[in-house]
Amino acid sequence: MQALKQFVRKPMGVIGAVMLLVVLLIAVFAPRLAPYDPQERVQVTPDDILAPPDAEHLLGRDDAGKDVLSQLIYGARVSLIVGFTASFMSMFIGTTVGLVAGYYGGRIGNGLMRLVDFLMVIPDLPLMLVIIAVMGRGLLNIILVIGLLGWTYTARLVRSQTLSIKERQFVLRARSIGAGGARIILRHILPQVLPLIIAQAVLDISVSILAESSLAFLGLGDPTLISWGMMLNFAFERAISRQAWWFLLPPGFAIVWISLSLILIGNTLDEIVNPRLRTHHLFDARRMVALAVGESAGRRVSEGGQDGPFGCA
């Protein structure tokens, strides 16, 4: 796809992709990379609690005496799983709602959009917090809550795109030969909307990951798993007074790393898919007059690409 070619040209996107790749590799090869198994029970002495980094524990130990680095490595898995799953769910719901609301319009469309408006107004974190507090902590619950609440923005986006696409020629043609709604949506409209959806999905994954880490930090993470947010929860509760930076900082930086990678990719994709105005009227106009020096009047200026007094690139 030509979009890929465009992507490779943008440094921000490439950096993001590399960053993401690093995390993916770490997550996949976690058992190989982690020096210790975080699930394993360890015999600890009081000295081991919040021990600073040394040769055997590159990032020191946490409040239970366990190796921080290993937890950090395995934490990548949780973030990625939650991020991708929850995001997939919300993108799926959002796209479906958007397509239906946009294509069919009328009362269904309006009704769906009212629902979207409701959900958008209610504040996210308090709502998620309250639901999990009541339903109980667990990976599935977290994924459900994030996925079932995060689709509204996508729905709006897809709906407005659908509205404009549905008036286009090829759609009208399909309708005139009697193609049914679902068929039209799936075969004609969806492909057009897909690039937009993909760009949005990437950003959505980062939002999901951040949501999970916030919930985990506030004490609502899955107690059977180690996620970066949970590490920060423990670190904050128990390590902050001891200034145990090796436990406090790495999980946070890890979260920033993965979110940033996704955001860079997503932003770049967004720029490609949505070519927002590349220029506007208030640029520096000093280069506008680029008169050739020494050219006699009436003669055409030589081919472009030449350096010199014109300032042409």
Partner 1 sequence: MERRDYLVRKLFFAFTTLVVVAVFNFLLFRILPGDPVRLIIHSPRMTREAQERIRATFGLDKPVWFDGERFQEGDILGAFDSQFTAYVRNLLRGDLGVSFATRQDVSELLAERAWRTVVLVLGGDVIAIFLGMTIGLIAAWRRGTPLDTGILLFGLFSWALPTFFLGIILLILARGHLPTGGMVTAGLKPEAGLLYWADVGEHLILPTITMGIVYTGEYILIMRSGVMEVLAEDYILTAKAKGLSTFRTLRDHALKNAMLPMVTMIALTFGYTVGGAIQVETVFSWPGIGRLMYEAVQKRDYPVLQGSFLLLAVSVVLANLLADLLYSVLDPRVKAE
Partner 2 sequence: MALLDVRNLSVDYLTDEGAALHAVENVGFHLEEGGSLGIVGESGCGKTTVMMALLRLLPEEGRIVNGQVIFGGRDLLQYSEAEMRQVRWREMSMVFQGAMNALNPVRTVESQIVESLRLHITHDLRVARERTGELLELVGIPAQRGRQYPHQFSGGMRQRAIIAMALACAPSILIADEPTTALDVMIQAQILELLEHLQAELDLSLIMVTHDLGMVAETCDDVLVMYGGMVVEYASSDVVFNSPQHPYTQRLMEAFPDVEEPGSTLASIPGNPPRLDDLPPGCRFEPRCECQWREAICAQKTPPLVEVEPNHRVACHFARQRPGHVKGRIG
What residues line the site for partner 1 (CB under 8 A)? Answer: 12, 114, 117-118, 120-127, 129-131, 133-136, 206, 210, 213-214, 217-220, 229, 232, 236, 240, 243, 245, 248-249, 252, 255-256, 259-260, 262-264, 267, 276-283
3 state DSSP class of 233? helix
Among residues 69, 73, 41, 38, the alpha carbon closest in space to that of 53 is found at 69
Residue 297 binding partner per list partner 2, partner 1, none, with a CB distance cut-off of 5 to 8 Å that depends on partner kind: partner 2
For 61, list phi and psi in degrees, rounded to 5. Answer: -125, 160
Which CB sits closer to partner 1, 122 or 290? 122
Radius of gyration over alpha carbons of the chain, in Å? 26
Determine whether 286 is exposed, middle or buried from the number of CB atoms within 10 Å of its CB (0-12, 13-18, 19+).
exposed
Which CB sits closer to partner 1, 33 or 260? 260
169 binds partner 2 (CB under 8 A): no
Pattern 224-263, binding to partner 2, x per CB under 8 A? ----------------------------------------
Residues in the interface with partner 2 (CB under 8 A) total: 22
CA distance 169 to 177: 13
Which CB sits closer to partner 2, 178 or 305? 305
CA distance 207 to 86: 10
Q: Tell me how far, at minimum, the Cβ of 299 lies from partner 1, in Å.
A: 31
Lookup: tokens for 241: 């007074």
Residue 138 binding partner per list partner 2, partner 1, none, with a CB distance cut-off of 5 to 8 Å that depends on partner kind: none
DSSP bridge partners of 61: 67
Find the binding residues for partner 2 in span 281-310 (CB under 8 A). Answer: 283, 285-292, 295, 297-298, 300-301, 303-305, 310
CA distance 198 to 270: 9
DSSP secondary structure letter of residue 100: H
Residue 303 binding partner per list partner 1, partner 2, none, with a CB distance cut-off of 5 to 8 Å that depends on partner kind: partner 2
Lookup: tokens for 242: 């001891």
Find the binding residues for partner 2 in span 264-283 (CB under 8 A). Answer: 279, 283
Which CB sits closer to partner 2, 106 or 294? 294
Among residues 97, 277, 115, 107, the alpha carbon closest in space to that of 197 is found at 97
Amino acid letter, 271: E
DSSP secondary structure letter of residue 56: S
Residue 277 binding partner per list partner 2, partner 1, none, with a CB distance cut-off of 5 to 8 Å that depends on partner kind: partner 1
Is-contact 163 102, C-beta < 8 A? Answer: yes
Is-contact 235 244, C-beta < 8 A? Answer: yes
Q: Tell me how far, at minimum, the Cβ of 75 lies from partner 1, in Å.
A: 14
Q: Tell me how far, at minimum, the Cβ of 296 lies from partner 2, in Å.
A: 9
Question: Which stretches of the chain bind partner 2, using CB under 8 A?
Answer: 279, 283, 285-292, 295, 297-298, 300-301, 303-305, 310-313
